[in-house]
Chain A
Amino acid sequence: NAGVMQNPRHLVRRRGQEARLRCSPMKGHSHVYWYRQLPEEGLKFMVYLQKENIIDESGMPKERFSAEFPKEGPSILRIQQVVRGDSAAYFCASSRDNQETQYFGPGTRLLVL
């Protein structure tokens, strides 16, 4: 049973470009959470999605950031017009229905030049 998958593992973008981060949850998991980890800091919640629905986006900046989890395919976190402050590790986690345990993917390390 494959774990949570994320790609790409590393992403380099220049300021103003777009970044697309993908997350495939564990098999049987329909809940996806995105967290951001700045260098040498903790994990900060961004957004929580179930299939085709955003449940909680209270941690996601209102501008430039969006997330989706379509019926088919991975969840995508999209950052438009990236700035240097967006450089961070972005982790997604997944869980089953009615289960509180979240399992993390390997993360995408975004570097904005």
Chain B
Amino acid sequence: GENVEQHPSTLSVQEGDSAVIKCTYSDSASNYFPWYKQELGKRPQLIIDIRSNVGEKKDQRIAVTLNKTAKHFSLHITETQPEDSAVYFCAASKRGTDSWGKLQFGAGTQVVVTP
């Protein structure tokens, strides 16, 4: 089955700097890659996603890139702010016969933005 690896496990950045989180996946059939942000005690919230027919997607300070050949995708956060502090999870899924399947999550990255 699918295996998603995520690095780093923790990331400390100064406010205003950029943060990059990288994930690799094993199943070449995976074709949907969302990123979730989870604050302490809260639900995972979708922040951005990318499909396999796209190489890059951007939404304000957040961008995601996908390299299908190498089977890796990355989250980029620019001009980080203290409210970006949270755990970020990457995930991968693929479409089955009639529906989309489960999300396979990476282990998460604890991002700490210091003022």
Interface residues of B, count at CB 8 A = 24
Chain A: residues with CB nearer than 8 A to chain B? 31, 33, 35, 41-45, 48, 50, 55-56, 58-59, 91, 93, 95, 97-107
In the complex, residue of chain A having the shortest beta-carbon distance to the beta carbon of B44: A104
**Interchain nearest-CB distance for B46 vs A (Å):** 7
Q: Is B103 within 8 A of A102, CB to CB?
A: yes
Q: Which residues of A contact B106 (CB under 8 A)?
A: 42
**Nearest CB on B from A13, distance (A):** 20
The interface bits of chain B over 7-27 (1 if a CB of A lies within 8 angstroms of the residue's CB, else 0) are 000000000000000000000
Further contacts, 13 of them, CB under 8 A, given A42-B105, A101-B49? A43-B44, A43-B105, A45-B102, A45-B104, A45-B105, A95-B100, A100-B32, A100-B93, A100-B95, A102-B34, A104-B36, A104-B43, A105-B43
Contact A50 B99, beta carbon cutoff 8 Å: yes
